[in-house]
Amino acid sequence: MIQAIIFLIITIAAFGLAWKNYMKVRRNILLGKDEEISGNTGERWRNVLLIAFGQQKMFKRWIPAVFHLFIYVAFLLTQVELIEILVDGFTGSHRFFASSLGGFYSFLISFIEILSLLAFVATFIFLARRNLLKVPRFHKPEMKGWPTLDGNLILYGEILLLIGIFSMNGADKVLQGMGAEHYHQTGAFAVSSWLGPMLFDGLSEGTLVGIERFGWWLHILVVFAFLNYLPISKHLHILLAFPNTYFAKLTPKGQMVNMPEIQKEVANMMNPEAAAEPQPEGEMEFSFGANDVFKLSWKNLLDAYTCTECGRCTAVCPANITGKKLSPRKIMMDTRDRAEEIGKNLDSGDVKFIAEDKRSEDAVLTKENYGDGKSLFDYISREEIHACTTCNACVEACPVLINPLDIILQLRRHEILMESAGPSDWLPLFNSMENSQAAWAVSTERDSWKTQV
């Protein structure tokens, strides 16, 4: 009874704190402006099933894909055992589903144990890839400090989780063999039936119960810790990969989004009479591109929070490969960091973060009046966005359909159209496009060919 009460308190606390942190992530994503998502619903669900669930794009690199699959499938199926642990914790029962499922229960736990063993091996291989083999994409400049520690912490947590599973099941099997009270027969388990006796045979019943309870509590506490760790980790992609693949663009990757304001100006140029008509008040209050997360869309911010920091985008980026500063992964990480910074400032409620032109005696800090004097350009340098060749290699490489290029293009548009800035070697192109509607500055009119035939 006491254990059930303790378990209830810990569970409520863990889920309550997690809910609070996930709501902050949701709030930060919604700092972005609205974006209408439309298109073929069937194709969107196909993306979820093949890319998020099926890991389709991971298999462009077979070796890490196979080991990742071990961990991924083990993670999915261990939720069955987790549900049983929750039921046992609340009710005080032991292996609640065993009696009702019979032989299928033994098969299910055995299958989970085999996958867990494979995941155990995969975890050590991933640790070796990151820390011993030092795979280059895990050791780019943006990966120093917390990102590297973050990548390792989740692997250490995976090891603890698996230690908990096999300690619990192994000691349980030995106790079943001893006929201990409360530990009823559940049939043979694929791994624990031999691992348990090998490790724990000869121990007293009290010691075995302690080991079994240790494994049980370790498993659930690591799960609760993991639940609360996700919102501050790149591993949030475990949850967000599914909505992100669903809401991903269905248009061709090279297709750029037009700016309605520009289209309207061009239409006015073609129809001067319409341009002369009075415009509604506030009609001209618009901006081009984006210089902060407020002017990006919520989908851009969802991309940023979904980023796995795997570095596949950076590994195929021709600008990065040739030594330029651009790293598409860093673009996503910087966007997420900026959203996090704004979110923390909003949580503080400090009026110093209210934009100067929106301050008043009774003003309350909100995202509508926020202004800390900073922007995404304080995170992402001009050199980075200028280096992009818009080749879409990063978009193609991402295993969860993130689009770093869209953010780069919006930053460029803001810089050029709102700040009248940009690299000096781009100016001849812009001048030529404006004066002769051609990319190259040539003396011949673009439509002169019509007079030559």
- Eight-class DSSP state of 265: H
Q: Answer whether residue 276 shows pLDDT above 60.
A: no
Task: Provide the percentage of residues in the chain whose pLDDT is more than 90.
Answer: 70
> CA 303, CA 282: separation in Å to the nearest integer?
31
Please give the pLDDT value at position 281: 54
Please give the pLDDT value at position 319: 97
- What pairs with residue 33 in β-bridges? 297
| Per-residue pLDDT reduced to its tens digit, 64-113 | 999 999 999 998 888 888 999 999 999 888 888 888 888 899 999 999 99
> CA 72, CA 66: separation in Å to the nearest integer?
10
Query: What's the pLDDT band for 424 if we cut at 50, 70, 90?
Result: confident
Please give the pLDDT value at position 279: 57
Q: Report the b/e string of 163-183 with b at 16+ CB within 10 A.
A: bbbbbbbbbbbbbbeeebeeb
- In this prediction, residues 9-21 reach a mean pLDDT of 96
Query: What's the pLDDT band for 431 if we cut at 50, 70, 90?
Result: confident
- In this prediction, residues 41-54 reach a mean pLDDT of 95
Whether the CB-CB separation of 98 and 184 falls below 8 Å is answered with: yes
Query: What's the pLDDT band for 445 if we cut at 50, 70, 90?
Result: low
Whether the CB-CB separation of 391 and 318 falls below 8 Å is answered with: yes
- Name, of 54-68, 80-94, 306-320, the range with top average pLDDT: 306-320
Least confident of 91-95, 336-340, 350-354, 388-392: 91-95
Whether the CB-CB separation of 362 and 282 falls below 8 Å is answered with: no
- Please report, for the chain, the start and end positions of each structural domain, with discontinuous segments joined by +: 31-60+257-276+286-421, 61-234
Question: What residues have CB less than 8 Å from 48, skipping those under 6 apart?
Answer: 242, 245, 246
> CA 240, CA 293: separation in Å to the nearest integer?
19
Query: What's the pLDDT band for 452 if we cut at 50, 70, 90?
Result: low
> CA 17, CA 25: separation in Å to the nearest integer?
13
Query: What's the pLDDT band for 357 if we cut at 50, 70, 90?
Result: confident
Please give the pLDDT value at position 99: 85
Pick the more confident residue, 39 or 388.
Answer: 388
> CA 90, CA 78: separation in Å to the nearest integer?
19
Question: What residues have CB less than 8 Å from 62, skipping those under 6 apart?
Answer: none
Q: Answer whether residue 15 shows pLDDT above 70.
A: yes
Considering the chain, what is the average pLDDT of its residues?
Answer: 90
Least confident of 27-31, 48-52, 214-218, 354-358: 354-358
Q: 11: how many CB neighbours lie within 10 A of its CB? A: 15
Please give the pLDDT value at position 280: 57
- Eight-class DSSP state of 143: G
Please give the pLDDT value at position 360: 86
| Per-residue pLDDT reduced to its tens digit, 238-267 | 999 999 999 999 988 878 888 877 777 777
Write down the H helix ranges in 230-280: 237-246, 260-270, 272-276
Question: What residues have CB less than 8 Å from 63, skipping those under 6 apart?
Answer: none
Long-range contacts of 194-198 (CB under 8 A, 24+ apart): 195/166, 195/170, 196/169, 196/170, 196/171, 196/172, 197/173
Q: 360: how many CB neighbours lie within 10 A of its CB? A: 9
DSSP assignment of 283-314: TT----S-SSGGGSBHHHHHHHHH-----HHH
Pick the more confident residue, 357 or 378.
Answer: 378
Please give the pLDDT value at position 65: 93
| Per-residue pLDDT reduced to its tens digit, 129-163 | 999 999 999 999 999 999 999 999 999 999 999 99
Helix (H, G, I), strand (E, B) or coil at 354: strand
- R_g of the chain, CA atoms, integer Å: 28
Please give the pLDDT value at position 79: 86
Question: Number of H helices and number of E strands within the chain?
Answer: 19, 0
